[in-house]
Chains A and B, each alone.
Chain A
Amino acid sequence: MAARETAAASHDRSTRRRRRARWGVACAVSAALVGGLSACASGPEGTVINLYGGASQSGFEKIIAECNAAAGGKYTIVGNLTPSDADGQREQLVRRLAAKDAGMDLLGMDVTWTAEFAEAKWIRELDQQQTQAATAGVLKPAVETAMWQDKMYAIPKHTNVQLLWYRKSLVPTPPKTWDEMIQMAQKLKADGQKTYQIGITGGQYEGYVVNINNFLNMYGATVVNEDSTQATVGDKTVEALAMMKKVASSGVTSASLSNNQEPEIFAELQNGQSAFSVNWPYVYAAMGEASPEVQKDLGFAPMPTIKAGEEPKVTLGGMNFAISQYSKHPQEAYEAAMCMRDEKHQLMHSTASGEPAVLEALYKTPEMQKVYPMADEMLKELQNASPRPVTPLYQNISTIISSTLSPPGSINPQADAQELQEKIQQAIDGKGILP
């Protein structure tokens, strides 16, 4: 459930999944079994590039079709469906990569998987020329998510950052710091306002780790060193955890904080429980659909910081394209990926499906500004964003963080930091078990 995207108008929900190419290796066998039911009458032309991940996002079929037309028979991209949640996607990719499956060429990967897949040698390193093309004009933090140990392993596809959403009628000027936000919320509560809470994803899952990582970044703390050989939990981590605890125990969060994921905090904003909400850019368009009234009252601002005047360092989301080590057509796969995220298609994608672009220049275009009224705030955050811990053990570390620090209200900064250090070190050493 890591980061990806924004808005989509309701009508393209229904068209989104309508048509999908359904030829494939297995067709022959299933046709034999099923007889007339199988729909693999005609195969695609030329080299088939099987894309797994990201293909079912809104309007992406059109991009695939355009790139196939542009390829002029050199290759044909086939967009395969993947489960809608990131865990399900990773599970499927990993299972097939571990079996050296040649049926996957291009992988749409969550930004947190790069190190793991690269270290396992499941994805190909880009050569110098490819790296240059894949990074030209791309936001620097987004490039970093595609790198492992100074080598480029993927092509940045889209990115994402959380913003602070607030109710303009209750909050005339958005808070600059977390302390300020807590005080504002407490004041609203004391004034007898029903809408006063701070919405934040505190369930035991990846979205909570995103929040923890925000605080870690803001305090300059890390949990693991650059080579991923040593756990680096320290005093700054303790401070970051203390801040998380403070937010959770100041009486200004939802009673269901420790169970909340994005849909819940969105609903709390819609229902008039939350005056503030830390959430991704999709909120704007989605609220327009769910409750136009609330949308009119919706303000947005950069994420609050610890000290006033600081630049927020927000956790980066998004997706990259990587080329499978077992693909028989790496060159064509690379070209296909570059086509699907060239300037034109990226703008198409960003505006149709709400996946913020990785190309910096696009944020100033009128098309982008129209769909994302908050494009300037987003760009500001994106330029200064930081990835989640870059390590092949990210999934393990993320699981350790979310379970050790759950529920947010019962964090014991000192003791929990100690526990994190021990468990993360154990994970690095390949010992210990995940909760």
Chain B
Amino acid sequence: MSTQADLSRPAGGGHDADEEAVAIARKRASEGKKAEAKLGMMLCAPAALVMVAVMAYPIAYAFWLSLFRADLRTPDQNEFVGLSNYVTVLSSPIWWTAFGVTAFITVVSVILELVLGMLLAIVMHRTIIGRGLVRTSALVPYAIVTVVAAFSWRFAWSQDLGWLAGSSAPLTDRWSSIAIIILAEVWKTVPFMALLLMAGLALVPEDLHKAAAMDGGSAWQRFWMITVPLVMPSILVAVLFRTLDAFRVFDNIFVLTSGANETSSVSMVAYNNLIRGLNLGIGSTMSVLIFITIAIIAVVFTKLFGAAAPGSDEGGRR
């Protein structure tokens, strides 16, 4: 078995395997293309049905409402206003401040999470003692309910009440608030990254490392040449999902600062308009704008990483 594994996954990329895979794929395609298509669609149908059933109406409804002047209190007085809600939002400094804060938090926390998550994944994967203990405990931060974790951070950073603050009041200043928000985000989601990356690491054959080590590759070289390419799909998925999530950051800000000192994120602003202000038109417009922004991020991502993206026809072993 081990020889086969080695044959199929030579160090440094796996061209042979790919060619072989392509050949197999072609052959198979010509044989039963129709059967395969049918099977594929059947397998996807349940998932697709559930998603459409639950999401189609809410998403369509938000797009529709964003074109109206609409208030939840007076549902009969909705008035079609075209794109004027979009003009209002996009010309508002409130929106752009929140947008900047959100983008900053997203970029910084995802980068930190990726680096720390990779480190943690390697530790969880390779440690020789207490593996079960480390793996389980490392996941505990992710398991703590976000609102509670945020509340405990808030308490910890409150002047004289918390053990972290001492006599300073970091949550009353814009940048230290943002730093604490990022800390709370990162602490909680590094395990998410690590778990995804670790499962990717599990697919890297040990023999490959040994072989490379014998060839004189340093640990650093082995990491970049062997581990990273093989874990790439996991990295992409982890970073993509964290970015989408981080851009919608809400709970931590809501609890830690409730948006004081210009620390609102776009989701906070959308919440204030939609749920507090009951302004369905503006609130839906913001939701749609957040959606579009995230969609752009996702498209850029998948374009950048091309072959590693699920659904792309080229990559992967077949």
Note whether A and B contact each other (Cβ less than 8 A).
Answer: yes
Residues of A that sit less than 8 Å from B by CB: 87, 91, 94, 98, 116, 119-120, 203-205, 254-259, 264, 267-268, 271, 273, 392, 395-396, 399, 403, 406-407, 427, 430-435
**Identity of the chain A residue whose Cβ is nearest the Cβ of B268 in the assembled complex:** A435
B71, B172, B279, most chain A CB atoms within 10 A: B172
B interface size (C-beta, 8 A): 36
Contacting residues, chain A, for B278 (C-beta < 8 A)? 94, 395
A116 to B72, CA, bound (A): 11
Stretch in B8-16, B89-97, B198-206 with 4+ CB within 8 Å of A: B89-97
Asked if B277 contacts A204 (CB within 8 A), the reply is no
Residues of B that sit less than 8 Å from A by CB: 69, 71-75, 88-89, 92, 94-95, 158-161, 167-169, 171-172, 257-261, 264, 269, 272-273, 275-279, 282, 286
Closest 6 CB pairs of A and B: A256-B169, A204-B260, A120-B73, A255-B169, A256-B159, A258-B172
Q: How far is the CB of B275 from chain A (nearest CB, A)?
A: 6
- Please judge, given known A-B contacts A204-B258, A267-B161, whether A255 and B172 are in contact too, CB under 8 Å: yes
Q: Which of A94, A392, A403, A432 contacts B259 (CB 8 A)?
A: A403
- Please judge, given known A-B contacts A204-B258, A399-B272, A435-B259, whether A407 and B72 are in contact too, CB under 8 Å: no
A40 to B171, CA, bound (A): 46
Contacting residues, chain B, for A256 (C-beta < 8 A)? 158-159, 169, 171-172
Q: Which of B72, B158, B277 contacts A399 (CB 8 A)?
A: B277
- Please judge, given known A-B contacts A120-B74, A434-B269, whether A406 and B167 are in contact too, CB under 8 Å: no
Asked if B69 contacts A434 (CB within 8 A), the reply is no
Asked if B160 contacts A271 (CB within 8 A), the reply is yes
Contacting residues, chain B, for A273 (C-beta < 8 A)? 160
Asked if A434 contacts B72 (CB within 8 A), the reply is no
Q: Which of B258, B259, B269 contacts A433 (CB 8 A)?
A: B269
A273 to B169, CA, bound (A): 14
Contacting residues, chain B, for A120 (C-beta < 8 A)? 72-74
Contacting residues, chain A, for B88 (C-beta < 8 A)? 431-433
Contacting residues, chain B, for A116 (C-beta < 8 A)? 73
A406 to B269, CA, bound (A): 16
Contacting residues, chain B, for A268 (C-beta < 8 A)? 160
Q: Which of B75, B161, B167, B276 contacts A395 (CB 8 A)?
A: B276
Asked if B272 contacts A434 (CB within 8 A), the reply is yes
Q: Which of A94, A257, A267, A433 contacts B273 (CB 8 A)?
A: A433
Asked if A264 contacts B282 (CB within 8 A), the reply is no
Contacting residues, chain A, for B92 (C-beta < 8 A)? 432-433
**Identity of the chain B residue whose Cβ is nearest the Cβ of A208 in the assembled complex:** B260
A433 to B278, CA, bound (A): 11
Asked if B158 contacts A434 (CB within 8 A), the reply is no
**Identity of the chain B residue whose Cβ is nearest the Cβ of A272 in the assembled complex:** B160
A271 to B159, CA, bound (A): 11
**Identity of the chain B residue whose Cβ is nearest the Cβ of A267 in the assembled complex:** B161
Q: How far is the CB of B172 from chain A (nearest CB, A)?
A: 5
A406 to B286, CA, bound (A): 23
Q: How far is the CB of B69 from chain A (nearest CB, A)?
A: 6
Contacting residues, chain A, for B73 (C-beta < 8 A)? 98, 116, 119-120, 392
A256, A267, A396, A427, most chain B CB atoms within 10 A: A256
19 A-B residue contacts at CB 8 Å? A94-B278, A98-B73, A120-B73, A120-B74, A203-B260, A204-B257, A254-B159, A255-B159, A256-B169, A256-B171, A258-B261, A259-B169, A259-B172, A395-B277, A403-B259, A407-B261, A433-B89, A433-B94, A434-B273
A286 to B115, CA, bound (A): 46
Q: Which of B72, B161, B168, B269 contacts A264 (CB 8 A)?
A: B161
A91 to B88, CA, bound (A): 25
Contacting residues, chain B, for A434 (C-beta < 8 A)? 94, 269, 272-273, 276-277, 279, 282
**Identity of the chain A residue whose Cβ is nearest the Cβ of B177 in the assembled complex:** A259
Asked if B260 contacts A407 (CB within 8 A), the reply is yes
Q: How far is the CB of B117 from chain A (nearest CB, A)?
A: 30
A87 to B122, CA, bound (A): 43
A156 to B302, CA, bound (A): 58
A430 to B259, CA, bound (A): 23
**Identity of the chain B residue whose Cβ is nearest the Cβ of A270 in the assembled complex:** B161
Contacting residues, chain B, for A91 (C-beta < 8 A)? 275
Q: Which of B75, B161, B257, B277 contacts A396 (CB 8 A)?
A: B277
Contacting residues, chain A, for B273 (C-beta < 8 A)? 433-434
A395, A403, A435, most chain B CB atoms within 10 A: A435
A420 to B316, CA, bound (A): 58
Contacting residues, chain A, for B260 (C-beta < 8 A)? 203-204, 258-259, 403, 406-407
A138 to B159, CA, bound (A): 41
A407 to B286, CA, bound (A): 26
- Please judge, given known A-B contacts A271-B160, A273-B160, whether A407 and B172 are in contact too, CB under 8 Å: yes
Contacting residues, chain A, for B275 (C-beta < 8 A)? 91
Asked if A433 contacts B95 (CB within 8 A), the reply is yes
Q: How far is the CB of B150 from chain A (nearest CB, A)?
A: 14
Contacting residues, chain B, for A396 (C-beta < 8 A)? 276-277, 279
**Identity of the chain B residue whose Cβ is nearest the Cβ of A406 in the assembled complex:** B260
Q: How far is the CB of B206 from chain A (nearest CB, A)?
A: 46
A98 to B257, CA, bound (A): 30
Q: How far is the CB of A39 from chain B (nearest CB, A)?
A: 25
